Amino acid sequence: LKFSSLSPPSLHPVMAEAPAEMLAAAYHKHGKPVSVVKVQQVARPGPPGEGELLIKVHAASLNPADWKSGEGGQGALLGFQWPRVYGFDFAGVVETVGSGAQAQEYKTGDEVFGMIRGLPQKDRGTVAEYCIVDAKVCARRPGSVSMQGCASVPLVGITAVKMFRACGLEPRAPGPDGPRVLVTGGAGGVGTVAI
């Protein structure tokens, strides 16, 4: 809160306006990250829409998918809003709640983690001070896990679950009667979560 200078601070609080810009790791064209990504001022995302949350990002993680997207592997197939902001995964605090039942499950100040839906875009990349996310791909941060720990899980965790489901494996109680799975190449993010 900012207080009006015309009266005592306790009598007339005035909400401070949100800054129009924020810092983000953004790029204006596809290419190798070392040559195109710059930490720069970009427009801060507007208010969240239906089913969306505006998040103040505290931690973000990068995955191989970020580098592939940034290099433009799908650029010929998809249109992008520029500048694009890097990052799929985040952990942070809900700044503003959009409309709709899904978003209303959260309130301002909730600590959450998750990932963006779709590819990073102008308002959706997570290596930024703020990002817009769909509430349905968020979860409340467990108190026992750091923001950094939570930000490292979403993309690889969802990929591991989808991999098991694609093979016809569903979560079940541990025991000797369940299927046995061999995970090869388990040193990366997805493999580590799968194991």
Peptide bond connecting 83 to the previous residue in cis, omega within 30 degrees of 0: yes
List residues bridging with 22 in a β-sheet: 42
For 57-111, the pLDDT digits (tens) are 999 998 888 777 777 766 666 666 778 888 889 999 999 999 998 899 999 999 9
- Between residues 156 and 77, the one the model is more confident about: 156
Res 122: pLDDT: 57
DSSP 113-175: EEE-SSS--TTT-SSBSEEEEEGGGEEEPPTTS-HHHHHTSHHHHHHHHHHHHHTT------S
C-alpha distance across the termini of the chain, in Å: 47
Give Cα 19 to chain centroid, integer Å: 20
Q: Mention every residue, 6+ apart, whose C-beta is less than 8 A from residue 147.
A: 58, 59, 91, 92, 111, 113, 141
For 105-138, the pLDDT digits (tens) are 999 999 999 998 876 665 578 999 999 999 999 9
Lowest mean pLDDT among 12-16, 56-60, 83-87, 162-166: 12-16
Other Cβ atoms closer than 10 A to 74: 12
